[in-house]
Amino acid sequence: MINFAYGRAKEKQSWSSLVLCQLFITEIIMKQHRVSLKDLAAQLGVSIATVSRALRNSHEVGEELRLRVQKLAKELNYRPNPFAQSLRSEAPKVIGVVVPNLVTHYYSAVLDGIEDYASQEGYSVIAINSHEDHEKEKKAIDNFISMHVEGIIACLSQDTVDYSHFEEIHKMGIPLVFFARTCLPELFSHVVANGDEAAELATRHLLETGSRRVAFLGGPNHLDMVRRRKHGYLEALKEKRIPIDRSIIICEKIDFESAKETTMKMLSAENRPDAIVAFNDIITYAAFAAIKALRLRIPEDVAIIGFTDTEMSSFVTPKLSSIEDQSHKTGAVACELLMKNIAGDTTIYRKVVPMILKIRESSDKISGNT
């Protein structure tokens, strides 16, 4: 009996150990990162495009490398994304869109334009918000690659200065179109506004309606959109023979609180500006709030024109003069170009969607309103 009990106890202990071991292994597996094409590429020292082709047995990859890729994929238990497989095998066809900030009216309106055009062509849209973060933008692109979307429409996050993830997209032959904030014009089509002309027109309007010292509040200088708008502002100053004062040309992070603080500091200086051209809706309303917080009058003390297409322009007091994007049209045009690329058109397009200057009450010192 003692031996039997001991044997049963030992058997029970072994069984318990086995169960615990299995649970431990399961926990490790569940915690493991799902192996991606990017992981395989990193270990092999090749591009994601090469790994993708090797797993599809493409003739573009040599047999030796193809076998190495497939062997590693098996060892690491690589599994294609099931969602991606469903996208490839079943309708609807899908495109991906990555934007810096889905909360703002501009990007949501662009997305509406994309979705409207895509639906007419039989496509669905997956949108990812990068939250103005370069790493999240890269992750979004990786996700789209894993999903095997038909093509991508993108707008750069404000801190993106490394474009290698987009260069990889080009190497893989995935159609991509940029809008608004763009890069690599030699590789990809892009849709932009005539921000330089619009900024010049807005600055000229301020100078012709009583303002003498016009400031420019922009985003990061490396963004081509910022550079274009700043260029237009500077051209207007040169045309009117106004000396350029770099202390009132401020190009920093696109953030409401930061922009408000910067504006308050600038307007508290002894030789403060008496007008502002603001780069986008976030900076525009931050500057508007700063002027109000300092109890300055708009436009008598500080006139302001902002790049914004929100309906709020007509509902703030005083009503805001604005440079308005045709955002829905921008989205539709970007999607149209992407569809051309997907259909095999390799032309690199540059489309310009004109902006509209709407003069309201905030910019005219002479008449007070228009």
Q: Where are the domains of the chain?
A: 33-79, 82-193+328-353, 195-326
Task: Look at residue 150 and tell me whether its pLDDT is greater than 60.
Answer: yes
Render pLDDT for 209-229 as a digit per residue (tens, 0 to 9): 999 999 999 999 999 999 999
The CATH superfamily label for domain 33-79 reads lambda repressor-like DNA-binding domains (1.10.260.40)
Nearest to 302 by CA among 286, 281, 287: 287
**From CA 148, how far away is CA 317, in angstroms rounded?**
48
Q: Can you give the pLDDT at residue 92?
A: 59
Tell me whether domains 33-79 and 195-326 share a fold: no
**From CA 332, how far away is CA 312, in angstroms rounded?**
23
**From CA 272, how far away is CA 263, in angstroms rounded?**
10
Nearest to 124 by CA among 84, 149, 94, 82: 94
Residue 84's pLDDT band (cuts 50, 70, 90): low
What is the token pair recorded at 285?
């309303």
Q: Residues 122-135: what's their mean pLDDT?
A: 95
Task: Look at residue 80 and tell me whether its pLDDT is greater than 80.
Answer: no
**From CA 10, how far away is CA 22, in angstroms rounded?**
18
pTM over 0.85: no
Contact 238, 209 (CB under 8 A): no
**Cα torsion through 271, 272, 273, 274, rounded to 10:** -100
Task: Look at residue 133 and tell me whether its pLDDT is greater than 80.
Answer: yes
Q: Can you give the pLDDT at residue 7?
A: 40
Render pLDDT for 183-206 as a digit per residue (tens, 0 to 9): 999 999 999 999 999 999 999 999
Would you say how long the chain is, in residues?
A: 370
The CATH superfamily label for domain 195-326 reads Response regulator (3.40.50.2300)
Render pLDDT for 310-345 as a digit per residue (tens, 0 to 9): 677 888 899 999 999 899 999 999 999 999 999 999
If you classify domain 82-193+328-353 with CATH, what class do you get?
alpha beta
For residue 217, the SS3 value is strand
Q: Residues 90-111: what's their mean pLDDT?
A: 86
